[in-house]
């Protein structure tokens, strides 16, 4: 399962967001400088560190190895723990790479979920069509890569049901997601078919609020928060790893829990 | 010549320094990861962390973990099958621990024969072995809480596993600091751990 570098998306808005992030968050450059200063340490282990790029590519290589290990550890039948509604975290935290007020406003009436790639039926889905599919809900723990966790209740369509409806080639390796906030990510097919992986349309019994990803969020209790795309606009089934927004900066691609 | 034989065999010295490298990387990157969502009301100064940002720290952490685990397994296997674990660390008697601790505090703990650990050393090294095991198991739950349900419940759930992981780290760092002080007090132990004699 080799991860190719996500294709650079030359989108003005996305570039701006990246630039903002570089300014506000600790930078990648700093990371590389630190990595270099630790080069001496790494020499002790016998690695030949000639420059900071080799450290970076070594660590990314281990991360890809960790993708494979996690794919191997993933048990398609093992369920994440579920909780009583009394344990729901209130208020459930907002989390994104932008402020709450900047969450995209998607018009539900004109909304269409685009479907492409290795699927038999490529027609776009309206929200009422999605609501007509069998709905389930579950109370699960959302675990953020930062370390915090929160319990929430999401409801919607089992993703495996949806994939079946669109005639997806479930022997394909990846599913990619493009979101209205220019976020993008991708997941492995095994996780996509997991019974707790839901294409959610509601949160805590209400229509999924804007800050939690209206009109739709893919909710996977077996993956970290950044792997759960919100405001999904399009999805595609593919054999080429589409990467992801945070994954591009160095977060682990599999991001399993 | 038996007297010229290494007091610390090569495998021990190699695994010791590999472990030191792994622990240093894991602790400093772990502090950066902790800072992303502190459990307690403090953060580690970012200047002494490794990784530059959360994602970088995670890359270091999830690379060095393999070194810690693989090296730990090699160490344990050699230790068990060479008989060193049994010979060096046992028997360990409570009375001796207190006696040696008292002598150490009075500055009168003898170090004539580096082939034998005193009771406090035995306890400290056995403790750090167990603590490393706790660090690894709690870390495994923090990393893959869904995939290891038994271990997760043993740690008291995901959130609690973070706390266990934190305190196991703190105990490891405390050991490390005492360890460094002891090496400074008896510098030839550093020589023993590098060239073996």
User: Is the dihedral angle over the CA atoms A125, A129, A131, A134 positive or is it negative?
Assistant: negative
Nearest Cβ partner for B50 among A34, A73, A81: A34
pLDDT at A8 over 70: no
By Cβ distance, the residue of A31, A75, A78 closest to B53 is A31
Alpha helices in chain A (DSSP H): 12-24, 28-37, 39-44, 52-73, 127-131, 159-165, 189-192, 245-249
Task: Give the domain CATH number at B138.
Answer: 1.20.950.20
**Cβ-Cβ contacts under 8 Å, A64 against chain B:** none
What is the least distance, in Å, from the CA of A177 to any CA of chain B? 21
A45 with B67: Cβ contact below 8 A: yes
Burial pattern B11-33, b for ≥16 Cβ within 10 A else e, equals ebbebeebbbbbbbbbbbbbbbb
- Which has the closest alpha carbon to A240: A119, A117, A120, A123? A117
ipTM, interface predicted TM-score of the complex:
0.92
Interchain pair B149, A221: CB under 8 A: no
**Which residue spans of chain A are classified as CATH 3.90.420.10?**
80-249
Residue A233 in contact with residue A113, Cβ under 8 Å? yes
* Nearest residue of chain A to residue B158 (CA atoms): A149
B158 touches chain A (CB under 8 A): yes
For residue B191, pLDDT beyond 70: yes
Residue A15 three-state SS? helix
Average model confidence (pLDDT) across chain A: 87
Residues of chain B in contact with residue A74, where contact means CB-CB under 8 angstroms, are: 147
- Chain A nearest-CA distance from B194, in A, is 12
- The pLDDT > 70 percentage for chain A reads 80
Question: Is the confidence at residue A24, as pLDDT, over 80?
Answer: no
Cα B97 to Cα A169, B84, B93, B176, B180: the distances in Å are 65, 20, 6, 19, 20
* pLDDT of the residue at B157: 97
Confidence of residue B23 (pLDDT cuts 50, 70, 90): very high
Query: Which chain A residues touch B158 with a CB distance below 8 Å?
Result: 141, 143, 149
Pairing type for strands A149-158 and A135-143 reads: antiparallel
d(CA A202, CA A155): 5
CB contact under 8 Å between B56 and A75, yes or no, is: no
Strand-pair category, A114-117 with A232-238: parallel
Q: What is d(CA A257, CA A70) in angstroms, rounded to the nearest whole number?
A: 9
**Helix, strand or coil for residue A60?**
helix
CA angle (A116, A121, A125) in 5-degree steps: 75
Q: Tell me which chain A residues have a C-beta less than 8 angstroms from the C-beta of B165.
A: none
Backbone angles phi, psi at A76, to 5 degrees: -60, -20
Looking at residue B22, its pLDDT comes to 98
φ and ψ at A82, to 5 degrees? -115, 160
pLDDT band at B197 (very low <50, low <70, confident <90, very high): confident
Between A52-73 and B54-81, two packed helices, what is the crossing angle to 10 degrees? 70
Inside any domain, residue B25:
yes
Q: How far apart are CA A39 and CA A28, in angstroms?
A: 16
More confident site: B99 or A163: A163
- Compute CA B43 distance to the chain's CA centroid, rounded to the nearest angstrom: 23
Contacts with B63 from chain A: Cβ below 8 Å: 58-59, 62-63
Q: Is residue B20 assigned to a domain?
A: yes
- Chain A residues lying within 8 Å of B159, measured CB to CB: 149
Q: What is the 3-state secondary structure (H, E, C) of chain B?
A: CCCCCCCCCHHHHHHHHHHHHHHHHHHHHHHHHHHHCCCCCCCCCHHHCCCCCHHHHHHHHHHHHHHHHHHHHHHHHHHHHCCHHHHHHCCCCHHHHHHHHHHHHCCCCCCCCCCCCCHHHHHHHHHHHHHHHHHHHHHHHHHCCCCCHHHHHHCCCHHHHHHHHHHHHHHHHHHHHHHHHHHHHCCHHHHHHHHCC
A219: which strand partners? A198
- The number of C-beta contacts closer than 8 angstroms across A and B is 102
Task: Determine the pLDDT at residue B116.
Answer: 85
The predicted structure's pLDDT at residue A43: 41
Nearest CA in chain A to B51: A31
Task: Compare all CA atoms of chain B with the CA of A33 and give the residue at the minimum distance.
Answer: B52
Q: How far apart are CA A169 and CA A174, in angstroms?
A: 10
Q: Considering its fold, how many domains does chain B have in total? A: 1
Query: What is d(CA B16, CA A176) in angstroms, rounded to the nearest whole number?
Result: 44
Task: Give dist(CA A143, CA B142) in Å, integer.
Answer: 10
Among A31, A81, A144, select the one facing B52 at the smallest CB separation: A31
The residue of chain B nearest to residue A246, with distances taken between CA atoms, is B55
**Among A224, A247, A250, A257, which residue's Cα sits nearest to residue A60?**
A250
Question: What backbone torsions phi and psi does residue B42 show, to the nearest 5 degrees?
Answer: -155, 160
Q: How many angstroms separate the CA atoms of A247 and A9, rounded?
A: 14
> Mean of the pLDDT values across residues A50-68?
90
What's phi and psi for B85, nearest 5 deg?
-55, -45
CB contact under 8 A, A257 and B146: yes
Residue B141 has pLDDT above 80, yes or no: yes
Provide the pLDDT for residue A238. 98
Is residue B187 domain-resident?
Answer: yes
Over the stretch B57-69, which tens digit does the pLDDT of each residue have? 999 999 999 999 9
Res. A18: pLDDT tops 90:
no
DSSP 8-class letter at A82: B
Residues 6+ away with beta carbon under 8 Å from A54: A48
Q: What percent of chain B has pLDDT over 90?
A: 76
Query: What mean pLDDT do residues B102-108 have?
Result: 83
Integer Cα distance of B147 and A256 in angstroms? 9
- The CA distance from B56 to the nearest CA of chain A, in Å, is 6
Q: B36 and A41: CB-CB below 8 Å?
A: no
**Average of per-residue pLDDT across B168-179:** 97
The third-level CATH classification (topology) of the domain covering A80-249 is Sulfite Oxidase; Chain A, domain 2 (3.90.420)
Q: Which of B25, B60, B159 sits opposite A149 (nearest CB)?
A: B159
Residue A7 scores a pLDDT above 90: no
Find the residue in A nearest to B56 (Cα): A31
Do the Cβ atoms of B62 and A66 come within 8 Å? yes
In a domain, B73, yes or no: yes
Residue A9 confidence (pLDDT)? 42
- Laid out side by side, the sheet with A232-238 consists of A114-117, A232-238, A174-179, A184-188
Q: Which residue has the higher pLDDT, B176 or B101?
A: B176
Nearest residue of A to residue B33, measured between CA atoms: A146
Taking the Cβ of residue B1 and every Cβ of chain A, the question of whether any pair is shorter than 8 Å is answered with: no
State the Cα–Cα distance between residues A254 and B23, nearest whole angstrom.
25
Lowest mean pLDDT among B133-142, B157-166, B179-188: B179-188
* Cα–Cα distance measured from residue A173 to residue A187, given in angstroms and rounded to the nearest whole number: 8
B146 inside 8 A of chain A by CB: yes
Question: Cα(A217)–Cα(A208) distance, rounded to whole angstroms?
Answer: 8
CB A241 within 8 A of CB A186: yes
**Cβ of B158 and A80 within 8 Å?**
no
Mind telling me how many Å the CA of A213 is from chain B's nearest CA? Answer: 22
pLDDT band at A21 (very low <50, low <70, confident <90, very high): low
């Amino acid at each position: 399962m080799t991860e190719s570098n996500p294709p650079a998306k030359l989108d003005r808005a996305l570039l701006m967001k990246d630039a903002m992030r570089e300014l506000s968050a600790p930078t990648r450059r700093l990371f590389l400088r630190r990595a270099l200063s630790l080069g001496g340490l790494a020499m002790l282990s016998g690695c030949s560190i000639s420059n900071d790029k080799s450290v970076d590519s070594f660590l990314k290589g281990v991360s890809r190895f960790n993708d494979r290990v996690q794919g191997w550890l993933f048990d398609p039948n093992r369920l994440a723990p579920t909780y009583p509604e009394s344990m729901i975290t209130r208020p459930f935290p907002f989390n994104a790479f932008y402020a709450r007020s900047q969450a995209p406003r998607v018009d539900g009436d004109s909304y269409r979920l685009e479907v492409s790639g290795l699927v038999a039926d490529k027609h776009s889905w309206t929200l009422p069509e999605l609501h007509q599919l069998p709905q389930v809900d579950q109370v699960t723990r959302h675990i953020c890569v930062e370390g915090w966790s929160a319990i929430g209740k999401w409801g919607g369509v089992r993703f495996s049901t949806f994939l079946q409806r669109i005639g997806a080639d479930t022997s394909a390796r990846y599913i990619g997601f493009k979101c209205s906030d220019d976020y993008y990510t991708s997941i492995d097919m095994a996780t996509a078919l997991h019974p707790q992986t839901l294409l959610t349309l509601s949160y805590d019994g209400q229509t999924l609020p804007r800050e939690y990803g209206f009109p739709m969020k893919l909710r996977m209790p077996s993956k970290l928060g950044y792997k759960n795309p919100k405001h999904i606009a399009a999805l595609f089934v593919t054999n080429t790893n589409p990467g992801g927004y945070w994954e591009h900066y160095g977060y682990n691609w599999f991001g399993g829990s | 010549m038996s007297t010229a034989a290494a007091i610390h065999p090569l495998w021990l010295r190699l695994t010791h320094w590999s472990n030191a490298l792994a622990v240093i990387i894991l602790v400093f990157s772990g502090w950066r990861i902790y800072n992303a969502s502190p459990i307690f009301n403090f953060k580690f100064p970012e200047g002494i962390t490794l990784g530059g940002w959360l994602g970088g720290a995670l890359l270091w952490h999830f690379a060095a973990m393999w070194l810690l685990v693989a090296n730990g397994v090699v160490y344990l296997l050699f230790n068990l099958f060479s008989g060193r674990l049994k010979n060096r660390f046992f028997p360990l008697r409570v009375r001796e621990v207190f006696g040696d601790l008292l002598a150490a505090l009075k500055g009168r703990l003898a170090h004539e024969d580096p082939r034998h650990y005193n009771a406090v050393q035995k306890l400290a090294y056995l403790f750090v072995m167990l603590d490393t095991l706790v660090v690894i198991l709690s870390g495994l739950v923090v990393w893959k809480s869904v995939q290891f349900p038994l271990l997760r419940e043993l740690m008291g759930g995901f959130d609690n596993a973070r706390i266990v992981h934190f305190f196991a780290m703190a105990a490891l760092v405390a050991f490390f600091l005492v360890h460094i002080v002891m090496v400074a007090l008896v510098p030839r132990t550093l020589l023993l751990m590098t060239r073996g004699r």
